[in-house]
Amino acid sequence: MTKTIKFTMRHILTLMFALVCCLQISAADDFDTFMKRIRKDSRRNPNVEKWLKLYDAEKGSFSDIDYSRNDITNWPPQKHLERLEDWAAAYVNEKNKHFEDETLADNIIKALQFWQDTNPNCKNWWFNQIAEPQALGIILIQMRAGKKQVPQELEAAILKRMLTDGGDPAKWTGANRTDICLHWIYRSCLERNEKDMQKAMQLVFDPIRYTTKEGFQHDGSYFQHGTQLYIGGYGDEILKGVTQVAMYALGTQYALDNDKVQLLSHFMRETYYPSIRGKYMLYDVMGRSMSRVNTLNKSRMAIFARRMIKLDPTHADEFKQIVERLTGKQPASYAVKPTHNHYFRADYTMHVRKGYTFDVRMVSNRTSRLEYGNKENLKTYFVSDGCNALVKNGDEYFNIFPAWNWTRIPGTTAPQMPEVPLAQHDWQQEGTSQFAGGVTDSIYGATAYAYDDTWAGINTKAKKAWFFFDNEIVCLGSGITSTNDNTVLTTLNQRLAQKTDAVLYAEGNKVVTAKDGDHIKASNINWVSHDGTGYVFPNGGNVMLDFDTQKGNWKDINRSMPNREETFQVLALSLDHGIKPADASYAYIVVPEAGDAKSLDAYCKKQHVNILSNTTDIQAVEQTDLGIWQAVFHKPSTLNARNITLTVDKPCIVMVRRHNNGNVTLHVADPAQKQEPINVEIKLKGSLKKAVKQMCDFTGTGIYAGQTKVYKLK
């Protein structure tokens, strides 16, 4: 027995030793796999002649770069590393005429030495800890495959610099953590440093989880810089980093586990890509980056979907369809499915139909306004206050922003102040409203916002509500009151309008074509039509229609942008509430696919929707074709309408739907997120034999306090 035990243990130890050796070989093989994939990912065939003309081979520097600059955006010295990335790519690419060119290799080495000796530094930590070490890592990995190597002493010094200046990813969150992990991975591969590689791989994928801090939220949205919605911008960054590394790690010991793959996939399919219409992203989900030139064009983000085809083959067809839209091979409507999502953590609603997308961006005391840090997005203040983006092709707002009137943001109710105020804080400024939220059944929904702003003399408040169906969005406002000395407008839209796009409006029984340069103000306009979209005024109102050129400079909205003036033909459509309105209201219906004037007239006569109430207590709408009633209750009250009576004991949003089979469902949400029971009583003529009382218990719902609850009544 004793001999048998010794024999067995000896074999076990031998097997363990062999396993350790295999693991060590596997780790080494993984380093090689990573570097091959990194080289392939950064492979290109650049034209490097223009940089050679500016290069001082003796110094190792470029004559057009001021290396003493420390600008917080567009840091000039970073161009040095970008050019070296091009050179390294050319040097190792057999199709480039400088392939294995010894002079080019010497230039790269000299330029790396210059960088190491000069030690440029930026005021903005992002360049020092992310952009610079990432670029250095790519250059070194490329050069490892070259005929002439970077001297070992210089490479070691650069790797040390990357570690020292790059910082510890564990101290960061979200996209910033991922970006720092990326250059840790580069360095670990070059050093064959398994310990740092394991740490980097654990941390790079760590943000792929739901959190109440910065990162992926439980409602499917994404936060960065505190509680600020950042589907684009930092959302781009997190997806760029994690999908990139996941592709490097595919099939290795570091491969991304399936649960995280599915979280990524869900975010991309249900939130990120739906916020891109065609190849253009909705402007209000991008944070301060909305003020950058060409920023809405996300065609290059098709690469994330291409990666997911391999990472998540179960949904490969959906990702292929996304790629087709982003690359322009298919129209913006291709394979788009109808959805309605209210992101209760983010105070954001996105309504998607095959022919259009319409959203609502709000801010509450639970979330933050759009930021204007680093002197970007300097006129953003009103964008957070119930703004809307209406897109069909996707390019309706492309690069319009320097020419925008930033007090006439689509969807907002705001005084026309001569200067747009800045929020008290540039990075993280919480809102003041508690009542901001929405109800949804995933296809239809309603959103409400109790707007009340006393900052910087704005002194304006309103109860705002949006009701979403297939063919229309009903927009209501009540209790509009202001002590500001400027005219208060509710803006329906302010978008690009080329002179070839007819702007029509119905004045009584007469259809008029607006002329270039028109500034129209009238109280008897029934509807306005432009680009196939109708704006209907069921209760009239003082309509302002401006169809004219607007000018502006990029530098005025973003100090890092070029000093360049833009001129655009713009359609701006608003309702005028006058100066210091008291309890004013508005009602308009957006019909995104109204078609021509005849079709829009027919739509208006059919009366598909009934506005049941538009007061400071209740805002409610009935969609007769769908059998849907939606009501926003700003206080405990009762809605008495022709076919329905609704009573609630607390502020809430209610949606009742009578289905074709006679079944009735109730959806309830609490925009204030108070986590208290809400009692609803319903009488529905022809469907419910008697009044139904339903207690909707939000007690203890925590982070899900703003989520919709659903009940089957019949």
Residue 505 has pLDDT above 90, yes or no: yes
**Distance (Å, whole) CA 665 – CA 681:** 13
**Angle made by CA atoms 51, 52, 54, in degrees to the nearest 5:** 65
pLDDT at 147: 96
pLDDT at 498: 75
**Distance (Å, whole) CA 451 – CA 584:** 14
Of the candidates 174, 373, 411, 397, the residue with the CA atom closest to the CA atom of residue 276 = 397
Of the pLDDT bands very low, low, confident and very high (cuts 50, 70, 90), residue 2 is: very low
Residues with catalytic function: 225, 234, 288
**The pTM is what?**
0.92
Token couple for 382: 């009103």
Mean pLDDT of 504-510: 93
Contact (Cβ atoms closer than 8 angstroms) between residue 140 and residue 158:
yes
**Distance (Å, whole) CA 623 – CA 629:** 6
Residue 25 has pLDDT above 60, yes or no: no
Is the CA virtual torsion 175, 177, 181, 184 positive or negative?
positive
pLDDT at 513: 96
pLDDT at 30: 95
**Distance (Å, whole) CA 440 – CA 362:** 16
> For 145-233, where are the alpha helices, taking DSSP H only?
152-166, 174-191, 194-205
Contact (Cβ atoms closer than 8 angstroms) between residue 697 and residue 670:
no
CA dihedral (510, 515, 519, 523) in degrees, to 10, reads 10
pLDDT at 634: 98
pLDDT digits (tens, 9 = 90+) for 688-702: 989 999 999 999 999
Residue 14 φ then ψ, to 5°: -65, -45
**Angle made by CA atoms 593, 594, 600, in degrees to the nearest 5:** 175
Is the CA virtual torsion 102, 108, 109, 111 positive or negative?
positive
pLDDT > 70 in the chain, percent: 96
pLDDT at 37: 96
Token couple for 291: 């003020």
**Distance (Å, whole) CA 243 – CA 256:** 9
Of the candidates 287, 341, 616, the residue with the CA atom closest to the CA atom of residue 452 = 616
Mean pLDDT of 31-36: 97
Mean pLDDT of 438-467: 98
**Distance (Å, whole) CA 606 – CA 591:** 13
Of the candidates 453, 435, 445, 441, the residue with the CA atom closest to the CA atom of residue 705 = 435
pLDDT at 409: 98
pLDDT digits (tens, 9 = 90+) for 352-372: 999 999 999 999 999 999 999
**Distance (Å, whole) CA 360 – CA 363:** 10
Over the range 446-476, which residues count as b (16 or more CB within 10 Å of their CB) and which as e? bbbbbbbbeeeebbbbbbbbbbbbbbbbbbb
Token couple for 426: 């540039």
**Distance (Å, whole) CA 569 – CA 502:** 12
- Report how far apart the first and last C-alpha atoms of the chain are (Å, whole number): 73
Mean pLDDT of 551-566: 97
pLDDT at 9: 54
* 387 CA to centre of own chain: 14
Is the CA virtual torsion 11, 15, 18, 20 positive or negative?
negative
**Distance (Å, whole) CA 57 – CA 654:** 71
Of the candidates 174, 213, 223, 210, the residue with the CA atom closest to the CA atom of residue 346 = 223
Instruction: Provide the 10 A C-beta neighbour count for residue 273.
Output: 26
List Cβ neighbours of 391 (8 Å cut-off, separation of 6 or more). Answer: 277, 280, 282, 332, 356, 357, 358, 397
Of the pLDDT bands very low, low, confident and very high (cuts 50, 70, 90), residue 3 is: very low
pLDDT digits (tens, 9 = 90+) for 79-137: 999 999 999 999 999 999 999 999 999 999 999 999 999 999 999 999 999 999 999 99
Task: Please identify which residue in the block is written with the tokens 């009103």.
Answer: 382
Contact (Cβ atoms closer than 8 angstroms) between residue 124 and residue 79:
no
Of the candidates 27, 381, 52, the residue with the CA atom closest to the CA atom of residue 196 = 27
Of the pLDDT bands very low, low, confident and very high (cuts 50, 70, 90), residue 7 is: very low
Mean pLDDT of 412-434: 97
What average pLDDT is seen over the chain? 95
Residue 47 has pLDDT above 50, yes or no: yes
Segment (H or E) for 175: helix 174-191
Instruction: Provide the 10 A C-beta neighbour count for residue 13.
Output: 10
Ordered structural domains, the chain, with CATH:
25-207 (1.50.10.100), 340-712 (2.70.98.10)
C-alpha Rg value of the chain to the nearest Å? 29
Contact (Cβ atoms closer than 8 angstroms) between residue 591 and residue 533:
yes
Residue 384 φ then ψ, to 5°: -80, -10
Token couple for 212: 């109440």
Residue 4 has pLDDT above 60, yes or no: no
pLDDT at 601: 94
Mean pLDDT of 512-517: 94
pLDDT at 547: 96
Token couple for 441: 């059944």
List Cβ neighbours of 57 (8 Å cut-off, separation of 6 or more). Answer: 106, 107, 110
Residue 210 φ then ψ, to 5°: -80, 140
Residue 608 φ then ψ, to 5°: -70, -25
Coil vs helix vs strand at 239: helix
Of the candidates 578, 511, 566, 512, the residue with the CA atom closest to the CA atom of residue 541 = 578
**Distance (Å, whole) CA 349 – CA 448:** 10
What's the full length of the chain, in residues? 714
Distances (CA, A) of 569 to 393, 497, 557: 17, 5, 19
pLDDT at 24: 47
Segment (H or E) for 352: strand 348-353
Task: Please identify which residue in the block is written with the tokens 């809605």.
Answer: 639
**Distance (Å, whole) CA 144 – CA 209:** 35
pLDDT digits (tens, 9 = 90+) for 699-712: 999 999 999 999 99
Q: Could you tell me whether strands 228-229 and 584-591 are parallel, antiparallel, or unpaired per DSSP bridges?
A: unpaired
